[in-house]
Structure formats: structure tokens, C-alpha cells
Amino acid sequence: MGSECPPAEAVTTVHITGFKKFHGVSENPTETIVNNLMEYMNKKGLPKGIVIGSCQILETAGQEALVPLYQTLQSAISTKESESSSSNKIIWLHFGVNSGATRFAIENQAFNEATFRCPDEMGWKPQKVPIVPSDGAISRVRETTLPAEDITKALAKKGYDVMTSDDAGRFVCNYVYYHSLRFSEQNGTKSLFVHVHSSLQLRKRPKCNSLLPC
């Protein structure tokens, strides 16, 4: 009788995005976070069963951010479908800056509404426009399937000044998050958006590995 191979360990692949500069924020801290994250994690180590699939910087522009975003989303799904283990998971972790905030915010949901308070980096300034018209009214929300409250509590216990938020705004952050949540629901993945505050010191690399085991 031949021996059976032990089942492969489940792996969670995390794909991470940040944004470039935009109106009023000449240096976006999320660009620094994401660009330095791979090197930081290689030094500090990742939790068992967690791998970083990609780190990507998006234009701070609603429609222009979608092309590279969806390319990454679809590529990750295609890779997952070709893998032998059905227990492997994919998480999209998006970082954006809230220039008026004083602490981190774990965003629980996104609205189907684009109302930009100022033009994005490509000059687009929609007002009360549904992000996905086929989803219905601008009051439609999509929620993360990750435990936002539990994540917030765990981070707070580690000393982070963090809160759970039900309002990701109506600018590009919300725009990207809504698309990501919609894609996740359709493809069996998970998505989470984290707002950082603009006063975050760029010379310091935050310990973002606290988010990855989620």
C-alpha cells in the first residue's frame, strides 16, 4: 500500500495597494508604506501561512485606478484557480490616507457613490454618481466579510491608535474599496481598507504585519 502525501498547508495570499499623491497631500504615506512593505516583511518575517502576493501603487484617480486594480485582482484569481489546494485564501488589503484623521481607521464598508470633494488626479469630479450603476442607488453599501471590529480591538491591544469606521468617504478610497468588495463577493475573496492619517511620519515603517494574519 502506497503512502498518501499529507495535505498541503492552507496559504493566505495578501495583495496590498496604496495611492500616489493627490490634491492637498504631496507625499502620500501609503505609497511609502506599500513600497517599503516587502523589504520590511522580509526582515521581520511573516506569520505562518501568510504570503504577500503583490504590492501596488495606484493613481489617486477613480477610473484610472481601476485598470491596474482589476488586472491584479483577475491575475490573482487565475492563479488561485490553477492551484491544487482549494483551502487557499486571497485578501485584498488597501491603504489610503485621510488627511483630516488623527488615527488609523479600519473601514467596514463602502458606498456605491462617487462624490468627489475635489477633482481627482485626472481631473474627474463626479457628484452623486453611482460607482456601479447596475448595483442600484448611491445608498447601496457593500461590507467587508473580514471581522473589522475584532481586527480593531486586536490592534488597539497592541498599542495602535485605531478605530472602526462605517464611512470611507466618497472620494477615490471609497471608489476603489467598493469595486474591491464587489469583486471579492463575486469571486470568494476578502477585502479590507485601512485609512491612515497624513501626519504619519514617513521615515518610520509602521508594523503593518499586525494586519496580515487577519
pLDDT in tens, 3-17: 555 556 789 999 999
pTM exceeding the 0.85 threshold for the entire prediction:
yes
Other Cβ atoms within 10 Å of 214 Cβ, number: 20
Which range has the worst mean pLDDT, 38-42, 63-67, 152-156, 175-179? 38-42
Q: In the chain, pLDDT over 70 holds for what percent of residues? A: 86
Return the pLDDT at 83: 62
More confident position, 57 or 100: 57
pLDDT in tens, 114-155: 999 999 999 999 999 999 999 999 999 999 999 999 999 999
> Using CB atoms within 10 A of its CB, is residue 128 exposed (0-12), middle (13-18) or buried (19+)?
exposed
pLDDT bracket for residue 214 (50, 70, 90)? very low
Q: Rounded to an integer, what distance in angstroms lies between the CA atom of residue 166 and that of residue 118?
A: 22
Domains of the chain, first to last: 12-210 (3.40.630.20)
Q: Which of 100, 84, 98 is nearest to 30 (CA)?
A: 98
Other Cβ atoms within 10 Å of 39 Cβ, number: 11
More confident position, 164 or 37: 164
pLDDT of residue 44 exceeding 90, the answer is: no
